[in-house]
A and B are shown apart, each in its own frame.
Chain A
Amino acid sequence: MATTVVIGIGNPYRRDDGAGIAVVRRLRLLVPQDVEVVECPGDLTMLLDIWQGYSRVIVIDAMRSGRAAGEVMRFDASTQTLPANMRFSSTHAMGLNEILALAHTLHRLPRKLVLYGVEGRDFGEGECLSDEVAKAVDDVVCYILLDLKKGEGDA
């Protein structure tokens, strides 16, 4: 069984909200065989089941935190508490911030968890990413491939 899972979050029909999905769709063809790639476009309580059993988890989601569009944040959530200013976007009742807190409370966080946040600009209805976010998606794909190359210890 794969030991690493890369999970993209978001709604690809709400423009930049779909940044995480765009990243994993690109990664699907590029990651080593032993890495699982999953899209999670709906209810995020599913994350607790999706990442169960994996020793390393990488999650990508759009942020709506007031930063410049396209800005990327990388955060190691297995060693630090999520900063208040890293606010992920959600079109549903429980976003990534809430799910991470819930997983922490229920002791269901993965052993190694890396989060990538991509600041979005346009969360309106539609399929296209804004230019800044599309470029950031390219960057995040590269960062994650590097993460995967570095191996489990550096995740």
Chain B
Amino acid sequence: MKGNTMKVDYLARVEGEGALYVRFKGGQPAEVRFKIFEPPRFFEAFLRGRSYREAPDITARICGICPIAYQMSAAHAMEDAFGIKIEGPIRDLRRLIYCGEWIESHVLHVAMLHAPDFLGYEDAIQMARDHPQIVETALKLKKVGNDLVTLIGGREVHPINVRVGGFYKVPRRRDLQEIEEHLKWARDASIQLVKWTASLPTPEFEQDYEFVALRHPAEYPFNEGRLVSNKGLDIAIDEFEAHIVEDHVPYSNALHARIARRGAYMVGPLARFNLNFDKLSPLAQDVAKEVGVTAPCRNPFQSIVVRAIETLYACDEALRIIANYTMPDKPAVEVRPYAATGHGCTEAPRGILYHRYRVDEYGTILDAKIVPPTAQNQKSIEADLWSLVKAHADLPMEQLQWRCEQAIRNYDPCISCATHFLKMQVKWD
């Protein structure tokens, strides 16, 4: 590599804005920093003094891409505080709306944000010129996800129908049946998406990650389970803060999460897939085996295939839920607030999203803590960049930068949950 500095002011195709800084000394990387400037502390402060009822809708505003995740983690945390367990069709509807969010978020990332990296396009617009069918199919597939969220959530962005204890209004069986045909098409289209992503040229790169995800005895995780890892973590949600430590790093306002006494960990599709492969639907498992991507998968560049497999699973699971659905008598269970602390952790498209609230006897929020998935992945992103830069320091600057950006996108970082600009800066001493 020629020259001693490489500077990129804006990293496109990530949700939101952040910064990357790389410094070389003697041809080797001496410093790699993935920066996030603004964690969602505004929302944590904003929640204080508000009613427990408002938490799902206020936190849903943090991100326009994954509002369901915020609503779900908030609702579960409040239900945990007040000793409520959601069962039956209301629980199923929560899984169903989450299916919609996974479909829309995953497809957007796979086809519009990440795939151009693998094919050498600057962006999805360039890719659409040569591969209009892929982009059109992705947009149509994504719309099925949007429609599912709209059907249950009331509207597609910032849905308003989720509440602590359940929903404000629940769909009738025939409302759900209207979307069945579209979901069947989407299931077939996502099989093709899995095959297409698996055919993309993938860099050889493996790391010894600690994967962290929810694990439930009976299902692929959305809303419930214990937090487990491939390196021995196995905890209840209320133990999260005893095992996950957040450090302040001087170059970033965001806290870097790590597992106490161990360090970096990865959350998201690859972690869920590796820890829950046996809980995927038979169809999703078969297609994964057919394309040769099975657990354990330690190549983060294959996360694009795993996202497509999870999209297929979400379509399959949505169809299963709709086939078995009976409308509940009431849209929500009764909630009686009392002074308590509650914890919630659900699987956002990008990985686990943790919420903790302390409320008084009237259900007024006294304090709140939110740990989004991207904050948890920061250390892993940095570790990947270290390894990549070390292994490819001889590459021309442009190619090295390309690979680094692609590696960041492996995590589908949603920095808009947390930050502003993603600037890339490389310095050579």
Interface residues of A (CB under 8 A from B): 11-13, 39-43, 45-46, 48-49, 91-94, 98, 101-102, 105-106, 123-126
Q: Are B143 and A49 in contact (CB under 8 A)?
A: yes
- Asked if B187 CB lies within 8 Å of chain A CBs, one says no
Enumerate 12 A-B pairs (CB-CB under 8 Å) in ascending A order: A13-B62, A42-B158, A43-B108, A45-B139, A46-B146, A48-B139, A91-B416, A93-B13, A93-B15, A102-B135, A123-B420, A124-B38
* CB-CB under 8 A for A102 and B65, given A40-B157, A49-B143, A92-B16: no
Report the separation of the CA atoms of residues A49 and B43 in the bound assembly, to the nearest whole angstrom: 31
Report the separation of the CA atoms of residues A49 and B140 in the bound assembly, to the nearest whole angstrom: 9
| Most chain A CB neighbours (cut-off 10 Å) among B13, B43, B67, B128 | B128
| Most chain B CB neighbours (cut-off 10 Å) among A46, A48, A92 | A92
Complex contacts, A42 vs chain B, CB 8 Å: 64-65, 67, 156-158
- Asked if B136 CB lies within 8 Å of chain A CBs, one says yes
Interface residues of B (CB under 8 A from A): 12-17, 38, 40, 42-43, 61-62, 64-65, 67, 104, 108, 112-113, 123-125, 128-129, 132, 135-136, 139, 142-143, 146, 156-158, 416, 420
Complex contacts, B158 vs chain A, CB 8 Å: 41-42
Complex contacts, B146 vs chain A, CB 8 Å: 46, 49
Q: Are B16 and A45 in contact (CB under 8 A)?
A: no
Q: Name the distance in Å between A77's Cβ and chain B's nearest Cβ.
A: 15
Report the separation of the CA atoms of residues A42 and B129 in the bound assembly, to the nearest whole angstrom: 25
Q: Are B64 and A93 in contact (CB under 8 A)?
A: no
Give the dominant DSSP class at A's interface. Answer: loop
Report the separation of the CA atoms of residues A26 and B135 in the bound assembly, to the nearest whole angstrom: 35
Q: Are B157 and A45 in contact (CB under 8 A)?
A: no
Q: Are B157 and A106 in contact (CB under 8 A)?
A: no
Complex contacts, A102 vs chain B, CB 8 Å: 124-125, 128, 135
Report the separation of the CA atoms of residues A27 and B117 in the bound assembly, to the nearest whole angstrom: 41
Q: Are B135 and A106 in contact (CB under 8 A)?
A: yes
Q: Which B residue sits closest to A49, measured CB to CB?
A: B143
Q: Are A45 and B142 in contact (CB under 8 A)?
A: yes
Complex contacts, B43 vs chain A, CB 8 Å: 125
Q: Are A105 and B128 in contact (CB under 8 A)?
A: yes
Q: Which B residue sits closest to A99, measured CB to CB?
A: B125
Complex contacts, B42 vs chain A, CB 8 Å: 125-126
5 A-B pairs with least C-beta separation: A42-B64, A42-B157, A125-B42, A101-B125, A105-B128
* CB-CB under 8 A for A43 and B65, given A94-B112, A106-B128, A106-B136: yes
Q: Are A92 and B139 in contact (CB under 8 A)?
A: no
Report the separation of the CA atoms of residues A40 and B139 in the bound assembly, to the nearest whole angstrom: 16
Contact of B112 among A12, A45, A46, A126 (CB under 8 A): A45
